[in-house]
Structure 1
Amino acid sequence: MQAIVKILRASRISASEFLADSKALAATEFAVIVPLMLVMFFGTVEFSSAVAIDRKVTLIARTLSDLTSQSAGTMTDANLVNTFTASVSIITPYDATLVNGTISEIYIDSNKIAKIQWSKAATIASGATQATLTTSIRNAGDNVTTMIPSALLVASTYLILGEASYVYTPSVGYVLKSALPLSDISYTRPRQVACIAYNNVPSSC
């Protein structure tokens, strides 16, 4: 009987001893902090990629308008393919097949009404090294006055509009749960001539 009493006394833990016992404290803290650490880690990765791609989309739009504006006056399909291919390659190392680019020429008439003269779009297919021309969502005659900054609405002038878009889908999707559409536009005036023709449009400047 005395032996049993001794064992019970020896197994007793006082309240202060219980509170001072920190053997599992690290494991408990780790279990609490891990979810927050994962959110911070994957959130940083996903947002950093989105910001990097968004910057590249802006550069693509600027390059599309800039290269086109340097034309000597006439654009051919071959010129456009080269322009799109060079511009979209900026997206590297990200997936170029997700880039959609558009080049349009706009004429601002004497009443400061801006309309599309011609427009062409392009994408790069999986495994392809060059862009493929496609039909633009913008049509000749479309009124785009409201989308042009007031400082660029100069009567009887032409503008080259470069547009680029990209749908960013997070590879993990831990923080960003859905696809994020990214896009940008850029305006440039023709450098060497008053206007740039494509398929004889416009027929004269």
Structure 2
Amino acid sequence: MKAIISGRMRSRRRFTDLLGDCRGLAATEFAIILPIMLLAFFGTVEFCSAVAIDRKVTLTARTLSDLTSQQSSTANSNTYNNVAVIADPDLQNNFDASIGIMAGYDPSPEKLTLSEIYVDSTGVAKIQWSKAAIIGKGASQSTMVTSPRNAGDDVTSVVPTQLLVKKTYLIFSEVSYQYVPTIGYVLKNSVTLNDVSYTRPRQALCITYNLQPQLTNPGNACPQT
């Protein structure tokens, strides 16, 4: 009988000792919490980077349209119907501003497009001219490339309704950025961040590219039909 009682007491002590044994507890808890900690940490880093770049994309789009819209009219504005003329060096400078805006992040995934839109007397919006640029890896200047938009393209559906004022011009900037997560722990695939901006010419009725396509009739460089 004593042997049975003694055995039961030893069993209880072993069970009690097991419950009170905390050896390896910290390691077990760490193993359980580690994946959650990594998910939270890397997820926060990737998400914050994406948000920061998205804000810079918005700022770039606004800056491009704003700088271009400030192009001054020509000296003989009476002859050219109060038109401002923009050329490749001017556009190059405007595109280059995006490199400074993206400081702290790689600007090479960025694609930039600048266009002028004319809303005619019927409310139809069409591209007058369009130029685009990209930025090479580690480049200090942008590179002009063929724009995805062409003169004459109908963009009425793209322009917000409140901006479709008849017989007016708009400077239209488009910026896209292919964000690729550095680690890819949470965001597995790349994300396209983009934004647009519309600004009306400030110093002239319109801003034409090298007086194109109105070279045959420069007195009507800013048609209003």
Contiguous gaps of at least 5 residues in structure 1: 1-8
SS at structure 2 position matched to 1:146: coil
Q: Tell me how far 1:124 sits from its aligned partner.
A: 1.8
Shift of 1:10: 8.1
**Where do residues 17-96 of structure 1 align in structure 2 (5 Å cutoff)?**
17-72=17-72, 73-96=84-107
Q: TM-score, normalised by structure 1?
A: 0.92
Contact 2:127 2:149 in 1 (8 A): yes
The aligned residue for residue 181 of structure 2 is 170
Which residue among 98, 123, 127 is the counterpart of 2:134? 123
The AA in structure 2 aligned to 1:199 is N
SS in 2 for 1:40: helix
Alpha-carbon distance between aligned partners in 1 of 2:55 and 2:32, rounded to the nearest angstrom: 36
Q: Name the residue aligned to 1:152.
A: 163
Alpha-carbon deviations, 1:155-197, whole Å to 9, x = none? 0000000111110111111111011111100000000111001
Deviation of the 1:99 alpha carbon: 1.0
Q: Which runs of 4+ in 1 moved over 6 A?
A: 9-12
- The structure where helix makes up a greater share of residues is 1
Work out the CA distance in 2 between the residues paired with 1:26 and 1:169.
36
Tell me which residue corresponds to 2:204.
Answer: 193
Superposed CA RMSD: 1.7
What is the rounded CA distance, in whole Å, between the counterparts of 2:14 and 2:107 in structure 1? Answer: 67
Tell me the secondary structure at the aligned position of residue 147 of structure 1: coil
Q: CA deviation at 1:12?
A: 8.4
Is 1:104 aligned to 2:86, yes or no? Answer: no
Counterpart residue identity of residue 58, structure 1: T
1:102–1:121 contact (8 Å) kept in structure 2: yes
- Residue 104 of structure 1 contacts residue 116 of structure 1 at CA under 8 Å; is this kept in 2? yes
User: 2:161 and 2:213 mapped to 1: Cα distance?
Assistant: 24
SS at match of 1:133: strand
TM-score (normalised: structure 2): 0.84
Q: Secondary structure at the match of 1:117?
A: strand
Residues 123 and 129 from structure 1, CA distance in 2 versus in 1: closer, same or farther, beyond 3 angstroms?
same
Q: Which residue of 2 aligns with 1:6?
A: none
Q: Distance in 1 between the 2:138 and 2:32 partners? A: 45
Identity of aligned residues (%): 58
Cα offset, 1:123, TM superposition: 1.2
Tell me which moved more, 40-49 or 125-134. Answer: 125-134
Please tell me whether the aligned partners of residues 65 and 186 of structure 1 are also in contact (alpha carbons under 8 angstroms).
yes
Post-superposition CA distance 1:75-97 (Å, at most 9, x none): 01000000100133211111111
> How many residues are aligned here?
198
- What residue identity is the alignment partner of 2:129? W
